[in-house]
């Protein structure tokens, strides 16, 4: 029988009970996407094949953490959380009798949404053109927005979100017939897009003096949005026909509060202020109307009223 050397027995006894364990250590840094350490991030650790094992550590001021394990042969699950960031869950396999580094990067919800958006745009090129157009539209660069939306529709002709915004651009550029043609094609889209299309049609047909069409689309809009500015205007118009200025006034004021560009509401409100002899409000309301509708029969009436008030 082979004998164990006395020196080995001595070392084993001197090392104590921990000698038979596979000690290991994991260190690292928890940071944001800019590489800045996140202080106070919590790491909840469990063993992959044993729910009974749990451990928790917290990162220091610079985001650095350190954790030791008595069994480096196992795989551990790190769940990391920090205020203002999305949680992260990853498996970590330590190295026996050694120290390894494992850094973690946490993203905010906004960063994750932006990452998802960018990935979606790569998969669907029309979305990249739409986003470019949307940003130009918000910035007021209608020429750039139009170009981007048209490129979007070349890639995906049935993308109604781009068509609706092109109709809005047509209306803003006084291309009323073009706005009507586009908006009528998008009425069958989602409720959200149908609402925008109906508003464009109401405004466009109002400019053309087509009262029957305005009334038709106002009724359709009221079914989708009973508390929309257009629906409020409709109710106010019924009251004005009954000479009820007191009832119509708050409805019109609410309508222009929701939609400051609602020209017809400004127009009717201006005459209510005139009848109330509130000339300051009458003047400012008609001036707002004229910025929105500088030409046409109603614009001439507003101009004459403003002149009379001076």
Residue 127 pLDDT greater than 50, yes or no = yes
d(CA 243, CA 263): 21
DSSP string for 173-228: TT-HHHHHHHHHHTTTS-HHHHHHHHHHHHHHHHHTT-HHHHHHHHHHHHHH-TTS
Q: Which of 17-21, 116-120, 165-169 has the lowest mean pLDDT?
A: 17-21
* pLDDT of amino acid 179: 96
d(CA 209, CA 214): 9
Residue 148 pLDDT greater than 80, yes or no = yes
Residue 239 pLDDT greater than 70, yes or no = yes
* pLDDT of amino acid 223: 87
Give 50's pLDDT tier (boundaries 50, 70, 90): confident
Q: What is the pairing mode between strands 42-47 and 24-32?
A: unpaired
Residue 87 pLDDT greater than 50, yes or no = yes
pTM for the predicted model, two decimal places: 0.49
For residue 58, which phi and psi values (nearest 5 degrees)?
A: -125, 140
d(CA 211, CA 202): 9
Q: What totals of helices (H) and strands (E) does the chain contain, helices first?
A: 13, 8
* pLDDT of amino acid 117: 77
d(CA 182, CA 38): 51
* pLDDT of amino acid 19: 44
Mean per-residue pLDDT over the chain, rounded: 89
For residue 234, which phi and psi values (nearest 5 degrees)?
A: -60, -45
Give 268's pLDDT tier (boundaries 50, 70, 90): very high
The structure tokens listed for 187 are 């009425």
Residue 14 pLDDT greater than 50, yes or no = no
Residue 251 pLDDT greater than 60, yes or no = yes
What DSSP element (H or E) covers 166? helix 160-172
Domains and CATH numbers, the chain: 6-108 (2.60.130.10), 113-309 (1.25.40.10)
* pLDDT of amino acid 21: 61
* pLDDT of amino acid 67: 96
């Amino acid at each position: 029988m082979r004998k164990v050397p006395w020196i080995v027995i001595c070392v084993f006894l001197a090392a104590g009970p921990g000698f038979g364990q596979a000690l290991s250590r994991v260190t690292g840094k928890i940071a944001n996407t800019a590489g800045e350490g996140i202080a106070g991030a919590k790491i909840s650790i469990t063993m992959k094949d044993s729910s009974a094992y749990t451990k928790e550590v917290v990162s220091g001021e610079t985001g650095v953490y350190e954790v030791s394990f008595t069994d480096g042969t196992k795989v551990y699950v790190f769940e990391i959380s920090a205020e203002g960031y999305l949680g992260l869950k990853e498996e970590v396999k330590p190295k026996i009798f050694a120290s390894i580094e494992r850094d973690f990067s946490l993203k905010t919800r906004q960063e994750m949404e932006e990452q998802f958006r960018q990935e979606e745009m790569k998969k669907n090129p029309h979305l990249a053109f739409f986003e470019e157009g949307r940003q130009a539209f918000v910035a007021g660069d209608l020429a750039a927005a139009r170009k981007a939306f048209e490129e979007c529709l070349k890639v995906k002709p049935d993308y109604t979100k781009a068509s609706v915004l092109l109709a809005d651009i047509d209306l803003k550029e006084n291309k009323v017939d073009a706005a009507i043609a586009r908006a009528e094609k998008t009425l069958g889209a989602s409720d959200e897009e149908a609402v925008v299309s109906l508003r464009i049609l109401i405004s466009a047909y109002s400019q053309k003096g087509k009262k029957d069409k305005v009334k038709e689309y106002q009724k359709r809009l009221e079914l989708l949005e009973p508390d929309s500015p257009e629906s409020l205007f409709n109710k106010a118009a019924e009251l004005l026909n009954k000479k009820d200025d007191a009832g119509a006034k708050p409805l019109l004021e609410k309508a222009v509060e929701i939609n400051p560009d609602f020209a017809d509401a400004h127009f009717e409100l201006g005459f209510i202020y005139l009848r109330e002899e509130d000339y300051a409000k009458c003047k400012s309301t008609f001036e707002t109307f004229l910025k929105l509708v500088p030409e046409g029969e109603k614009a001439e009436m507003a101009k004459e009223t403003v002149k009379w008030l001076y």
